[in-house]
């Protein structure tokens, strides 16, 4: 399976009920207020935080590679009475009719791009879609290995129809040279005697600050700041999510 298609089918269905937390919209609202509109969220999924930003009246479009996640977003938007413009595209093959003052990912979704070549294509697309003087915000982190005692541990949730939903990491491989961690995730849905079980590899690919700055430079983007999620300058030793601010060189 192509990594860009991971959040489809049973994964899209189980995403909302099983997700452990929702992205805080505040850092992204503050980013947009600071650098201007229109704005674009890459990897907007089923609508967090895009729908909250739209509810606040911010001009934000969305892009996601999963038609199933976007269908859920549109359904939520209809229920909330919120108008949202979203595009079914991969961020590494971006081709949109508008240019944006602000382009961002909410949380470290950029690490779902499985290698440097795909990341470069995404950065190239970001640069091409920035309006003059526009800014991009890319949160990044280095994932920790799943602790051994958590391999095989099952998280459960109930679906609206009463089915039991389960997710677990069943195996994991880490490659420090390629900077990838591949977790084999098992998704399960059980309802009475009916059951579906599907296993999918979930790849994360990370960067040092220097490696990311070098990639950005290749496509004509400069890292103008590295901050924590609150927009404060990040100390060099932070292992948490870092926000990279980018502008055209």
- Rule CB under 6 A: say whether 110 interacts with ligand SAM: no
Minimum separation from the CB atom of position 99 to ligand SAM (A): 18
- Rule CB under 6 A: say whether 138 interacts with ligand SAM: no
- Rule CB under 6 A: say whether 185 interacts with ligand SAM: no
- The CA angle 223-224-227, to the nearest 5 degrees, is 90
Q: Give the range of 90-98, 150-158, 178-186, 196-204 binding ligand SAM by CB under 6 A.
A: 90-98
Greatest Cα pair distance in the chain = 59
190, β-bridge pairs: 164, 195
Q: Give the range of 106-114, 166-174, 184-192, 216-224 binding ligand SAM by CB under 6 A.
A: 106-114
Strand locations in 24-129, DSSP E? Answer: 39-42, 60-64, 86-88, 100-104
User: Which residue lies nearer to ligand SAM by CB, 142 or 190?
Assistant: 142
- Rule CB under 6 A: say whether 13 interacts with ligand SAM: no
- Rule CB under 6 A: say whether 43 interacts with ligand SAM: yes
Interface with ligand SAM (CB under 6 A), residue from 25, 27, 38, 45: 45
- Rule CB under 6 A: say whether 23 interacts with ligand SAM: yes
User: Which residue lies nearer to ligand SAM by CB, 24 or 59?
Assistant: 24
- Rule CB under 6 A: say whether 44 interacts with ligand SAM: yes
- Per-residue burial over 74-103, b if 16 or more Cβ lie within 10 Å, else e, is eebbeeeebebbbbebbbbebeeeeebbbb
* CA contacts within 13 A on the Cβ side of 177: 0
- The CA angle 110-114-115, to the nearest 5 degrees, is 100
- Rule CB under 6 A: say whether 65 interacts with ligand SAM: yes
Residues that bind ligand SAM (CB under 6 A): 4, 7, 23, 43-45, 48, 63-66, 69, 90-92, 106-107, 109, 112-113
């Amino acid at each position: 399976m192509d990594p860009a298609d991971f959040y489809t089918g049973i994964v899209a269905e189980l995403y909302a009920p099983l997700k452990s937390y929702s992205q805080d919209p505040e850092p992204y609202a503050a980013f947009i207020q600071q650098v201007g509109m229109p704005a674009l969220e890459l990897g907007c999924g089923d609508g967090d935080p895009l729908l909250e930003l739209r509810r606040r009246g911010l001009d934000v479009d969305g892009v996601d590679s999963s038609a199933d996640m976007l269908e859920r977003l549109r359904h939520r938007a209809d229920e909330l009475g919120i108008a949202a413009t979203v595009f079914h595209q991969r961020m590494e093959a971006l081709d949109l009719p508008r240019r944006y003052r602000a382009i961002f990912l909410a949380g470290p979704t950029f690490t779902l791009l499985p290698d440097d070549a795909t990341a470069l294509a995404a950065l190239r697309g970001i640069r091409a879609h920035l309006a003059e003087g526009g800014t991009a915000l890319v949160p990044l982190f280095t994932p920790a290995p799943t602790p051994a005692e958590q391999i095989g541990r099952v998280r459960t949730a109930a679906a609206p129809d009463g089915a039991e939903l389960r997710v677990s990491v069943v195996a994991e491989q880490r490659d420090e040279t390629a900077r990838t961690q591949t977790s084999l995730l098992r998704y399960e849905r059980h309802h009475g005697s009916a059951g579906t079980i599907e296993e999918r590899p979930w790849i994360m690919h990370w960067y040092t600050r220097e490696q990311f700055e070098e990639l950005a430079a290749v496509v004509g983007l400069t890292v103008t700041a590295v901050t924590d999620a609150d927009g404060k300058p990040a100390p060099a030793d932070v292992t948490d999510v870092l926000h990279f601010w980018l502008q055209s060189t």
